[in-house]
Structure 1
């Protein structure tokens, strides 16, 4: 079984080629990705300032995996609590999953965060640990202000569905109000992209700042 901690150690290993360390970071994200794999990777390129050329700042990979690790520790603690809670509920005869479902068990395509899987640029700007804390708090009954995902309190963005309308968070496109038909609708990315371009960080410059010419070049 692939181990997050094993690959985290590989990211830290300065003796390894940068491509190998970058690949280890990818494996870590496949094992824990709060925003979905592509959106989480894109987020980390920005938050850890991973440059287009890894040689320009090798430590950026360490910053990225440590942000991911910090959030994962919070998730593991809450997931263990939830597992213990479910075992107790089942022993008492309550087999149905309580509502709301834990955020980490949401359907990838049916959840209010499905836009992040279709447009990896539309994720929250929160540090991953802040997002996990926010979701854990909501699971525990808290009602934080603003968007449940990112906290944005600005006006909602209406998005027509052809027979109705959904309302999205203007920052992260979290579905704040679903369509009246009750079905999820595909989110159309605002910017065309290729996964290969994201993976190679064409949206970043060698100094770790966003590429001002992207997506043109």
Structure 2
């Protein structure tokens, strides 16, 4: 599989047909999709104004890939800082990451930084803003029994709602649509 940078350059290539450039944008999403593939694609279509037929506005593809690239740069900088910090900690004899680091590692594992199982519901802010907020978030606080969980994207106590796909039931933040947990 080619790199994110290769496909980003192909999206910028005005000599390529618009449908091929759209395909390259979608390949970039396979490398980095903070809300999950479908929700991140839906977000980029709305924020960059990608029409149903991309040849009508091929510059929208460039706007979309640049927003995705900016968010990825924020994430890569945080990953490099984390890796450097862990190397220093391991040299100092601390072999296990702390609670905050373990929380960040858990967020990076499954679907994305702020997985949105319903592709039509996701945060409205630009991707770099949301990625920065998620990476700076504190570990979630367990709510009191019957209490409301705190969303790490909205950073406020949010109402919750259930959303079901074919296999799982998710508890979503009612404010931004981020999956708080999978039941």
TM-score grouping bracket, smaller chain normalisation: 0.7 to 0.9
Q: Which residue number in structure 1 is paired with residue 160 of structure 2?
A: 157
Return 5+ residue gaps in structure 2 as ranges.
Answer: 140-149, 165-169
Partner of 2:17: 17
Equivalent in the alignment of 1:46:
46
Question: Which has the larger share of helix?
Answer: 2
User: Which of 106, 109, 131 in structure 1 is aligned with 2:108?
Assistant: 106
Q: TM-score, normalised by structure 1?
A: 0.66
Secondary structure (helix, strand or coil) at the match of 1:97 reads coil
- Give 2:146's aligned residue: none
Conserved? CA contact 2:138–2:152, under 8 Å: no
Specify which structure has the bigger relative contact order, considering alpha-carbon pairs within 8 angstroms and separated by 6 or more residues: 1
C-alpha distance in 2, partners of 1:21/1:104?
A: 33
Give the conservation status (yes or no) of the 8 Å contact 1:48–1:63: yes
Say how many residue pairs are matched.
166
Q: Deviations over 1:168-205 (max 9, x none)?
A: 421223355x6xxxxx31xxxxxxxxxxxxxxxxxxxx
Select 1:169's aligned residue among 162, 169, 173: 173
Name 2:131's counterpart in structure 1. 132
Matched, 1:35 2:32: no
CA contact (8 A) 1:113 1:173 kept: no
Does residue 66 in structure 1 map to residue 70 in structure 2? no
CA distance in 2, matches of 1:123, 1:103: 21
Displacement of 1:33: 1.0
Aligned to 2:57: 57
Q: In the alignment, what sits opposite 1:188?
A: none
What is the CA–CA distance in structure 2 between the aligned matches of 1:73 and 1:160, rounded to whole Å?
31
